[in-house]
Every structure is written in C-alpha cells, then in structure tokens.
C-alpha cells in the first residue's frame, strides 16, 4: 500500500514479478530478453542512483555501466542454474549501489554524518493526497529538496523502502545489512526527512548543516 507521501511522480511503479525467469532468458540470449530487463529496471535503478548521487548525468552513467555488467554476468559468467536462482531485483540494485559508492569516492565527496547520530523522536506523513495539482507539484518539489538535504544512507533507504517498496529482505540483500538493523535505520531516515521538510531552509532551497 502506498504511503500518503509516496511519490509515484518521482519513481516508476515497482514490478513485483520474480526475476529468475528473465535472468534465464537473458542467459539463453532469447530475442528481446535483455531489452525487457532494461524496460523493467532502468527507470527505478536511475531513481535509486540519482537518490544517492544527486546528479542526473552520473546516475545515467552508473545505470548504463550496471546494465552492461549485468549482461556480461548473465550471459557469460553465470550458469543457468545460478541465473534461475538469482534474486534479480536486489542484485541489480546492489550493482548500482556499489557503482554509485565508487563514483562518490572517486569524486572525494565530503563525509556525511552517520544515520545513527540522528534521533529527534518525530515521525509522520509528509505529503497530503488532497489538494490541487499545483499544490501536489509544490509538495513533490518540497520533497525533492528535502531529500537532497539528507545523508546519503538516509536517502538510499527511503528510495528503496518507500519509492521502490522493497521488502526488508530485499533491502538487506541490496545494502548488505541485517533486517533488524535496517528497520531502525529506516525509522530514523523518516524522522530525518520529516525534520528536513519542516526546516525553513528547505522551502528556500538552501541546504542546512547536518
């Protein structure tokens, strides 16, 4: 079920179908199989990469690299049994995640405060479902700006859990952390987003010190 603030406008609807059959089709080089993989995953992967990198060009470059790596792995490196058992969605997201983190390191991005340092005890809905189209667009833009102010790990978890609607098991496979740890981090991420949305600086598009 969608949350009251989820952003269909910000990211494509997730495809919940299992990916093993598609991975096998790509492995067998069936006509159109890799094109179907791109059609299914390119948009959500781009949204995820952009959430981490905050740069459309870099996000596009990362997704293209990830797709080439996926094609190589599925067609030349993995056997059919491995492809059939593959959790395709979190595998692709994990590939994009690693490429994003490598790109951030290569640009010597400044360190951000870890998510564990934030805990203001507040949580709640962010964007109302009611109102005119103009009001909704303004709310979506406000949400975009607030997301840009968050630490990268908070942005990442919000995208995965609430925009891509991944289960905690899928997120755990993507980021390499336990489900128990992730639940607490997702909760703190939501509180951070709530705080960012309430900051006057967010409304002006000016970043504030985290």
What is the CATH classification number for the domain harbouring 70?
1.10.1740.10
Q: What domain range includes position 122?
A: 115-204
Asked whether residue 124 falls in the same domain as residue 200, the answer is yes
User: What are phi and psi for residue 12, nearest 5 degrees?
Assistant: -70, 160
Residue 120 has pLDDT above 80, yes or no: no
Asked whether residue 88 falls in the same domain as residue 162, the answer is no
In the chain, the percentage of residues whose pLDDT exceeds 90 is 31
Q: Classify residue 180: in a domain, yes or no.
A: yes
Asked whether residue 127 falls in the same domain as residue 70, the answer is no
Question: In the prediction, which pLDDT does 199 show?
Answer: 72
Q: Classify residue 209: in a domain, yes or no.
A: no
Asked whether residue 127 falls in the same domain as residue 172, the answer is yes
- Provide the number of structural domains found in the chain: 2
Q: Classify residue 79: in a domain, yes or no.
A: yes
Which of residues 122 and 153 earns the better pLDDT score? 153
Residue 17 has pLDDT above 60, yes or no: no
Measured CA to CA in angstroms, residue 40 lies from 28, 34, 139, 210 at distances of: 18, 10, 27, 35
Question: In the prediction, which pLDDT does 124 show?
Answer: 45
Domain end residue (candidates: 106, 140, 163): 106
Query: Rounded CA gap, 85 and 83, in Å?
Result: 5
Domain end residue (candidates: 57, 73, 106): 106
Question: In the prediction, which pLDDT does 196 show?
Answer: 83
Q: What is the CATH number of the domain that holds 127?
A: 1.20.140.160
Domain end residue (candidates: 106, 132, 152): 106
Residue 54 has pLDDT above 90, yes or no: no
Question: In the prediction, which pLDDT does 66 show?
Answer: 93
Asked whether residue 147 falls in the same domain as residue 72, the answer is no
Question: In the prediction, which pLDDT does 114 show?
Answer: 56
Say if residues 9 and 34 touch (Cβ distance below 8 Å): no
Question: In the prediction, which pLDDT does 70 show?
Answer: 94
User: Which of the four pLDDT bands, split at 50, 70 and 90, describes residue 89?
Assistant: very high
Question: In the prediction, which pLDDT does 30 show?
Answer: 94
């Amino acid at each position: 079920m969608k949350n009251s603030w989820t952003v269909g406008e910000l990211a494509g609807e997730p495809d919940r179908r299992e990916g093993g059959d598609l991975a096998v089709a790509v492995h067998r080089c069936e006509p159109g199989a890799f094109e179907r993989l791109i059609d299914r995953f390119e948009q959500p992967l781009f949204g995820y990469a952009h959430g981490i990198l905050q740069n459309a060009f870099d996000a596009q470059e990362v997704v293209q690299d990830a797709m080439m790596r996926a094609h190589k792995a599925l067609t030349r490196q993995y056997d059919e049994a491995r492809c059939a058992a593959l959790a395709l969605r979190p595998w692709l997201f994990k590939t994009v995640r690693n490429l994003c983190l490598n790109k951030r390191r290569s640009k010597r991005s400044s360190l951000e405060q870890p998510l564990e340092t934030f805990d203001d005890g507040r949580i709640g809905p962010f964007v109302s479902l009611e109102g005119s189209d103009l009001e909704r667009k303004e709310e979506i833009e406000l949400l975009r700006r607030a997301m840009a102010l968050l630490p990268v790990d908070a942005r990442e978890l919000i995208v995965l859990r609430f925009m891509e609607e991944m289960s905690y098991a899928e997120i755990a496979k993507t980021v390499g952390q336990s489900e128990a740890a992730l639940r607490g981090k997702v909760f703190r991420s939501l509180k951070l987003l709530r705080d960012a949305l309430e900051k006057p600086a967010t409304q002006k598009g000016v970043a504030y010190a985290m």
